[in-house]
Amino acid sequence: MFHVDPPPQQDKVHWRRTLRQRRAALQPQQRHAAARQIAAWARAAGLLRRGRRLAAYVPTGSECSTWPLMLAAQHSGCRVYLPIVPRRGRKLSFVRFDEHAVWQLGAYNIPEPRHAEHCKARALDVVFIPLVGVDRQLRRLGQGGGYYDTTFHFRRTRRHWRRPLLVGIAFDCQRVDTLPADRWDLGLDLLITESGLHRRPI
């Protein structure tokens, strides 16, 4: 179910403020239940197949937690990777998350693993992506840093080979009818919320 969109200012600053407020208003029990349900939806959709290379993210602030999803992926035999924010530029690198990872604080004080095994963005099978908001066309509104837009820019030029699959992770309250979008904004292939899997309307 889509929420009634607030009027009428359509700039991204407005939407980020509005949708962050919606997300922050969720109660802890709602967050925990949603994170577990999202992991269950991902498993049921066949996204967590053994041997796949999956990327997720370390949740910060009021973002939807991916810990149940990552643990389910590892239990299913997937290789899980987490993004490393570069000191310069905007292209993310991806590092293995397992029992051998050593943690330290990275950019924006986000915990990042250190591990000998890395994976290029083009070699990933599925990427679970954080977002502030998303609309019916699966246009993603991010934090504004442009890291995911830059890292997966190559997906815009592909018409047939679609790897990696770009999957947004969010709460239902982050879905709206229409969001403002620029030509460089990353579009999603799929969205998972606590209510299920969502694809672009045909």
Domains of the chain: 31-196 (3.40.50.10420)
The tens digit of pLDDT for each residue in 70-82 reads 999 999 999 999 9
For residue 137, name the pLDDT band (cuts at 50, 70, 90): very high
Find the mean pLDDT for residues 87-105: 91
Q: What HEC string does the chain produce?
A: CCCCCCCCCCCHHHHHHHHHHHHHCCCHHHHHHHHHHHHHHHHHCCCCCCCCEEECCCCCCCCCCCHHHHHHHHHCCCEEEEEECCCCCCCCEEEECCCCCEEEECHHHCEEEECCCEECHHHCCEEEECCCEECCCCEEECCCCCHHHHHCHHHHHCCCCCCCEEEEECCHHHECCCCCCCCCCCECCEEEECCEEECCCC
Find the mean pLDDT for residues 113-123: 93
Find the mean pLDDT for residues 116-128: 95
- Alpha carbons 10 and 112: distance in angstroms, whole number: 34
The answer to whether residue 42 scores a pLDDT higher than 90 is yes
- Alpha carbons 182 and 133: distance in angstroms, whole number: 14
The tens digit of pLDDT for each residue in 170-183 reads 999 999 999 988 88
Tokens of 14: 């407005």
pTM of the model: 0.90
- Alpha carbons 2 and 88: distance in angstroms, whole number: 38
- Alpha carbons 178 and 1: distance in angstroms, whole number: 14
